[in-house]
Amino acid sequence: MSRHNDIEHVSSTSAPNLGRRRFLKTAGGAAAVSGLLASTGFPAAEAAVASAAGMTPFDSARDESLWGAAQQAFSMNRSLINLDNAWTCPSPRVVTEAVVRYIWNQEEVPAQQWINDFEDRVETVRISLGRQLDCDPQELAIVRNATEALKTVLYGVPLKAGDEVLTTNHDYSSLVSVIRHREIRDGIKLVRAEVPAPAESMDQLVSAFEEAITPRTKLILVSHIAYLTGQIFPVKRICEMAHQRDIEVVVDAAHSFAHLDYTMSDLQGDYFGTSLHKWMLAPKGTGLLYIPKDKIEKINPLMSGPSRRRGRSIRKYESVGTQSMAPMLAIGEAITFHRAIGGKVKEERMRYLKLYWAERLNKLSNIQLYTSLDPEMSCGFTTVGIRGVHPEALRDYLWEQHYIQTARIDRGEDLQGLRTSPNLYTTLPELDYFCEVMEEVAANGMPEPYRSMTFERDF
């Protein structure tokens, strides 16, 4: 079992010891499964999506004939159902193959490769990322993850004693811990607006921020998509409201980049950080930091670098010493894969996969969903609970008895469930199987020994 902020995931070392029950039956039989395993790879995904030309993203998302090839572009183990993609997730095989290839290139004469080749080639990746977000690539630093990106800003923004930083009870705890640290170090104050789950409307979310602002508020940290629930926040409205009051906004886009289809100007944030190993499907250990040119000078990097990396260059945020360039370079393959599917088509597919299982389970009287299914309120994932069933026992039961991986969320009575996050490679029969198991538990409760398990609260 591993803990990652407030979320618990089952590790592969705690492997299930009981067999799968009905997977082959519900998945359409062994032939269907072996058909999926007979991969044709990424070019087929391109061809399939190209054949969708002329269809709306909404219709493409619902046409199963288009998605088989994209599912096979990943090297999956179909004896497991991975509905825990929101922390990080499998990359398409073209991405993993590129990482391996670049590692071998790197091993030839590592020092040469670094100085004469890789550092320059990373610039091509930077340009592609700039194109993706429609912003100046010289405002984008390629970092290791969203944590590094966003902590750079939260530690680097000049604040003085008495200044307030506003965020919510649903923002990422590791980032909130930076604000707590600065309370001790710099005498600033953390203010947390309470947002309900599920939220009723976008207006309610804007109001939660607006009501918590005081004359001392200097900075807002907002998740574009909340990690606990999948709730989408109306970032542009929050930024516009904040800017009218001279407050800067840090957008935590860890879950929204390459999940929702947008460019930087659709958000209007002052700073932006995201992981690339989440929905962009890039190699693990890649992330992105956006700081506009006029703010680069005032935001200190977490680690100071040599002179050419100081001052006004965005590269000053990349000065972390020697690291493998292979994951960074292979971001390029992930972007190519993303663009081949199409940002809007991907968003609609992710939303459809969520609706597929969530609408079915939502018909049951004891199911609790923690986001609205309204398209503007959530996209590819949400958190689902069964009233009266402990989420940890349910999470363990799903994994140990059915090889279905989800992530447990437990914030007390008001937010207890399983964060359920399919991905492009997820098939509808896999979601059917998940629904059948959940329906059985909702109807009959948990079997022993899971029914009698007790858990200590650790939040």
Ligand X SMILES: Cc1ncc(COP(=O)(O)O)c(C=O)c1O
Q: How far is the CB of 411 from ligand X (least distance, A)?
A: 14
The distance of closest approach from Cβ of residue 353 to ligand X in the complex, given in angstroms and rounded to an integer, is 19
Of 145 and 368, nearer to ligand X (C-beta) is: 145
Q: How far apart are the C-alpha atoms of 337 and 95, rounded to whole Å?
A: 9
Of 78 and 255, which CB lies nearer to ligand X in the complex structure?
255
Does residue 352 interact with ligand X by CB under 6 A?
A: no
Alpha-carbon gap, residue 32 to 210, rounded angstroms: 52
Record the tokens describing residue 273, joined without a space.
């950080």
CB under 6 A: which stretch of 189-197, 229-237, 251-259, 383-391 binds ligand X?
A: 251-259
| Nearest distance from C-beta of residue 22 to ligand X, angstroms | 32
407 binds ligand X (CB under 6 A): no
Residue 383, interface with ligand X (CB under 6 A)? Answer: no
The nearer residue to ligand X, 182 or 255, going by C-beta atoms, is: 255
Among 48, 76, 208, 254, contact with ligand X (rule: CB under 6 A): 254
Point out which residues pair with 368 in neighbouring strands. 385
225: CB partners within 8 A, 6+ apart: 231, 232, 233, 254, 255, 256, 259, 260, 379
* Distance (Å, whole) CA 27 – CA 24: 5
Taking the least distance from each CB to ligand X, the nearer of 87 and 262 is 87
From candidates 74, 87, 262, 337, binder to ligand X by CB under 6 A: 87
Q: Which stretch binds ligand X (CB under 6 A): 77-85, 139-147, 187-195, 356-364?
A: 139-147
Residues 154-173 that bind ligand X (CB under 6 A): 172
Q: Contact with ligand X (CB under 6 A): which of 60, 132, 167, 275?
A: 275
Binding region for ligand X (CB under 6 A) out of 144-152, 161-169, 302-310, 391-399: 144-152
145 binds ligand X (CB under 6 A): yes
The sheet with strand 407-410 has its strands ordered as 2-4, 7-9, 407-410, 416-420, 382-386, 367-369
User: Which residue lies nearer to ligand X by CB, 118 or 257?
Assistant: 257
Decide: 420 and 383 in contact? Cβ < 8 Å: yes
Pairing of β 248-252 and β 189-193 = unpaired
CA dihedral 19, 20, 24, 25 (to 10 degrees): 110
| Dist CA 191 CA 22 (whole Å) | 49
Residue 41 structure tokens = 């790879």
> Which of these ranges, 212-220, 252-260, 301-309, 313-321, lies near ligand X under the rule CB under 6 A?
252-260
- Please give the single-letter amino acid code of residue 315: R
Please state the closest distance from residue 255 (CB atom) to ligand X, in A.
6
Residue window 220-249: x/- pattern of binding to ligand X, with contact defined by CB under 6 A? ---x---x----------------------
Distance, CA of 283 to CA of 243 (rounded, Å): 35
Number of residues that bind ligand X (CB under 6 A): 12
Nearer to ligand X, 91 or 427 (CB): 91
Q: Which is nearer to ligand X, 275 or 416 (CB)?
A: 275
**Site stretch for ligand X (CB under 6 A), options 47-55, 74-82, 145-153, 161-169:** 145-153
Give CA–CA dist 252/145, Å, rounded: 12
Nearest to ligand X of 172, 433 (CB atom)? 172
Q: Interface with ligand X includes 255 (CB under 6 A)?
A: yes
- Whose tokens are 């393959």? That residue is 333
Q: Nearest approach, Cβ of 330 to ligand X (angstroms)?
A: 16
Asked if residue 218 lies in contact with residue 172, where contact means CB atoms within 8 angstroms, the answer is no
Q: Which residues contact 228 (CB under 8 A, 6 or more apart)?
A: 6, 170, 197, 370, 383, 409, 411, 415, 419
Residues in contact with ligand X by CB under 6 A are: 87, 145-147, 172, 223, 227, 252, 254-255, 275, 287
